[in-house]
Amino acid sequence: MKRLLAHGDILVWENDAFTCLKNGYLGIDGDRIDYLGADKPRAAYDEVKDMTGKLLLPGLINGHTHTGMSLLRGLGSDLPLDKWLFDTVFPVEDRLTDEDLRIGMELSMLEMIASGTTSFTDMYMAPGYTARAVLASGMKANLCRPMQSFDPDEAPMTCARMREMLALYDEWNGAGDGRIKTDFSIHAEYTCTEKMVRAAAEEAQKRGAGMHIHLSETEGEQRACVEKYGLTPAQWFDSLGAFAGRAYAAHGVWLTPEDRALLRDRGVTVVHCPESNLKLGSGVADVPAMVSEGLSVALGTDGAASNNNLNLMEEMHLASILHKGVRRDPTLLSPSRVLQMATVNGARLQGRTDTGALCVGNKADIVAVDMDRPHLTPNIDPLSNLVYSAQGADVCLTMADGRILYENGAFLTLDRDRILFEARKAAQRLLG
């Protein structure tokens, strides 16, 4: 199947910036892009889609989320962090069944697909059980089973979580023609022993897998770690080998300048989650400094329990304006830069070399935004309109590996009504 997207405005990544090719052509052969240009291609295509008035961009990549938590959306809003986590979230999480996790993940995928996300990096329970739902959805995902261990005598290689992680890797890494990748994960410094971090880092290294962690999210976490170890969380993880391979760290709100230099030198991607950091009162990460110092920064939504949605378009919008205001400099973080975080840098984080940008040879992970809307008119600057004015609901087409997942409000791979019904029923049982 060869499909031509004709007459769309195409956001092309070149020389470290996105530029807009107006009224261009994007050809797809199977799962890959085989043409991109201003002129009509000579090759024949089975189907031509008129994309006049649409903006084509790479599928967005959510660098950090907990998809199974969507069933907890709106639970315990506006509580202090410890009350929210210990008195409301944890007790409900304890009751989540594997089926609940599958439903939560499907609900999350509906939402992500409808707002232009084609790939996500998840950290939650039972990833082996829920991986099947990812395959069926047509999305891409980096899955992991986060390690936690509070007992310094626990044997790393035989504990339940390590066994789950290794089984996840063996069964699912590379599944769906590479759509699923499995990474290793340490939940956080404050929930893990040194022995466990070392072991997980070694196992990840052996397999060339990634390492997904929470890092320096709150001031308290940062302070307690320095008190306990004489090291910041970044230094502590580094001393245990966690950054030896492809590694990515969610939040990074309280990183010191020395931490930032360390992460840059190790090539660690920081996943900026501005909505979650604001809503939980964690603070504002110094993303302008990270970018100017040469760190790779991706974007994440975090889970729906602390956001409360998985809409990466909102995250781009917020990332683009938040730092301008807090640092009082309107020239910071251009639309091109935040779109880079949500695409190019997300692909790097996931260890995927054939997505994150629209170019010949890359996988056809493509999103179209309908610019024929009052709030996107006039369309003087499509990048500016995309980042500052558009809503997730302006996405009219989401495609991964050349397969259409969503078009004009209709889901083509997931059963929306069944999932919403099951999600409501599960939430009622859990919370009602």
- Can you say whether the dihedral through the CA atoms of 332, 345, 357, 307 is positive or negative? negative
For the CB of residue 377, give the shortest distance to a copy of itself in the complex, in Å.
5
Site for a copy of itself in 20-79 (CB under 8 A): 70-71, 73-75, 77-79
- When the beta carbons of 100 and 401 are compared against a copy of itself, the nearer one is 100
CA nearest to 305, candidates 285, 275, 283, 342: 275
- When the beta carbons of 271 and 426 are compared against a copy of itself, the nearer one is 426
Of 144-152, 195-203, 358-366, 373-381, which segment contacts a copy of itself by CB under 8 A? 373-381
For the CB of residue 341, give the shortest distance to a copy of itself in the complex, in Å.
15
- When the beta carbons of 203 and 275 are compared against a copy of itself, the nearer one is 275
For the CB of residue 356, give the shortest distance to a copy of itself in the complex, in Å.
23
* CA distance linking residue 183 with residue 144, whole number of Å: 5
73, 305 in Cβ contact below 8 A? yes
Site for a copy of itself in 85-114 (CB under 8 A): 107, 110-111, 114
302, 312 in Cβ contact below 8 A? no
**Tokens encoding 106:** 């499907």
For the CB of residue 309, give the shortest distance to a copy of itself in the complex, in Å.
4
Using rule CB under 8 A, residue 378 touches a copy of itself: yes
- When the beta carbons of 177 and 329 are compared against a copy of itself, the nearer one is 329
CA nearest to 61, candidates 105, 102, 18, 122: 122
- When the beta carbons of 335 and 346 are compared against a copy of itself, the nearer one is 335
Of 34-42, 227-235, 397-405, 413-421, which segment contacts a copy of itself by CB under 8 A? 413-421
- When the beta carbons of 361 and 378 are compared against a copy of itself, the nearer one is 378
Burial class (CB in 10 A: 0-12, 13-18, 19+), 88: middle
- When the beta carbons of 226 and 321 are compared against a copy of itself, the nearer one is 321
Helix then strand then coil, in percent of the chain rounded to 5, is 45, 25, 35
**Tokens encoding 204:** 């990840």
Write the DSSP assignment of 103-165 as a string of letters: HHHHHHHHHHHHTTEEEEEE--S-HHHHHHHHHHHT-EEEE---B----TTS-GGGSHHHHHH
Rounded to the nearest 10 degrees, the angle between the axes of helix 335-342 and helix 312-326 is: 140
- When the beta carbons of 21 and 326 are compared against a copy of itself, the nearer one is 326
Rounded to the nearest 10 degrees, the angle between the axes of helix 127-137 and helix 98-114 is: 30
Site for a copy of itself in 246-275 (CB under 8 A): 274-275
Site for a copy of itself in 274-313 (CB under 8 A): 274-275, 277-284, 304, 307-311
CA angle 414, 354, 275 (to 5 degrees): 60
For the CB of residue 380, give the shortest distance to a copy of itself in the complex, in Å.
4
Site for a copy of itself in 116-175 (CB under 8 A): none
**Tokens encoding 60:** 């967005």
According to CB under 8 A, which one of 335, 346, 356, 402 is a site residue for a copy of itself?
A: 335
For the CB of residue 110, give the shortest distance to a copy of itself in the complex, in Å.
4
- When the beta carbons of 361 and 374 are compared against a copy of itself, the nearer one is 374
Site for a copy of itself in 206-235 (CB under 8 A): 219
- When the beta carbons of 119 and 311 are compared against a copy of itself, the nearer one is 311
133, 102 in Cβ contact below 8 A? yes
Q: Which residue has the tokens 């998809």?
A: 67
For the CB of residue 196, give the shortest distance to a copy of itself in the complex, in Å.
30
For the CB of residue 95, give the shortest distance to a copy of itself in the complex, in Å.
14
Q: Where are the beta strands (DSSP E) in 216-320?
A: 247-251, 269-272, 296-299
